[in-house]
Amino acid sequence: MPDISYGFIGLGNMGAPMCANLCAAGIVPCVFDAAGTAERAPAGTIVADDVAAVAQQDTVFLSLPDGRIVASVCDEILNAPGRTVSTVVDFSTTGPQAAGEIGAALAAGGITFVDAPVSGGRAGAIAGSVTVIASGPDEAVAALSAPFEAVGGNVFHVGVNPGQGQAVKLLNNFLSATAMAATSEAVQFGLGHGVAMETILDVVNVSTGQNTASADKFPKRVATESFDAGFAMALMTKDVALYFDEVQKSGSSNKVGTTMTGLWNAADGAMPGADFTEIYKYLRGDSDGETT
């Protein structure tokens, strides 16, 4: 099997640790970040001056804030002089429609697109335990087994069409957002009856109400008042809004989605710059614009 060269664009909260895990697995990418590559590049990577330089690699990974930026970067890749990239893999959360459009544009330029959003937050990205939710051609996804295993403890191939990975990622984040908000209200109800938070969580986490918020976010981020999950409220709000928009298009039930969208929009507006676990503070009534 011929050697494959790799590139990585986007070295933010998620991208930098995922890229570092690729390096730790012996997969050394050529990297670029518009916010400053040298300052963000993990040790051992090859620092590029621009997107065009990364487009000289065989496979390029993206970890970027939203679909608009992903589309812009993919346009730069398509127009890079002498590009040799044959596969683009997007770890970002863009939404199904954007993923479909990006995939079509890349396909028209002869580039295979693998839609592969991840779940697990910054802690998972650092630990190399994120869930990779891939959709794309069977052969292309199979060829990515080594880098996917390097960044994620769980890898799922959910479909062959760009956007299917996004759909699963959005419904997962919607469930995470709902669990975080509902658990915040439920815990405050229990506290109001004089029951300690630790006791509430002990009961819930061996009972039918157990969820990701009660089992992980509350013991580690809320009970400690650290609110440092490393995932911005603005990003969760964006994901919930994307979910809402896509459900509206699909015509499936959106009653809970409507409520959650309104709640997260209001919380994000009241607490700019907050961590998403600070929805607890918003629902507690102490969102005065001050965040940790």
Residues 61 and 151 occupy one common structural domain: yes
**Do 209 and 201 contact (CB within 8 A), yes or no?**
no
Residues 57 and 132 occupy one common structural domain: yes
Segment 68-80, tens digit of pLDDT: 999 999 999 999 9
Position 288 scores a pLDDT of 56
pTM here? 0.91
Residues 149 and 182 occupy one common structural domain: no
Position 292 scores a pLDDT of 43
Q: What is the CATH number of the domain that holds 210?
A: 1.10.1040.10
Q: Indicate whether 289 belongs to any domain.
A: no
Candidate list 169, 217, 238, 281, residue with the active-site label: 169
Segment 117-137, tens digit of pLDDT: 999 988 899 999 999 999 999
**Do 150 and 91 contact (CB within 8 A), yes or no?**
no
Is 169 a residue of the active site?
A: yes
Whether the pLDDT of residue 98 is over 80: the answer is: yes
Domain boundary among 109, 135, 159: 159
Whether the pLDDT of residue 59 is over 60: the answer is: yes
3 falls in which pLDDT band (50, 70, 90)? confident
Residues 92 and 182 occupy one common structural domain: no
- Does residue 211 or residue 13 have the better pLDDT? 211
Residues 15 and 150 occupy one common structural domain: yes
Whether the pLDDT of residue 262 is over 60: the answer is: yes
Domain boundary among 137, 159, 181: 159
Domain that holds residue 122: 6-159
Question: Averaged over 260-264, what is the pLDDT?
Answer: 98
Domain boundary among 129, 159, 189: 159
Give dist(CA 94, CA 113) in Å, integer: 14
Give me the number of domains the chain comprises: 2
Retrieve residue 286's tokens.
């102490």
Position 291 scores a pLDDT of 45
Q: Indicate whether 17 belongs to any domain.
A: yes
Question: Averaged over 10-31, what is the pLDDT?
Answer: 96
Position 250 scores a pLDDT of 92
Q: Indicate whether 291 belongs to any domain.
A: no
Residues 6+ apart with CB under 8 A from 137: 112, 114, 160
Q: Which percentage of the chain shows pLDDT scores above 70?
A: 97
Helix (H, G, I), strand (E, B) or coil at 171: helix
Helix (H, G, I), strand (E, B) or coil at 255: helix
Q: Indicate whether 110 belongs to any domain.
A: yes
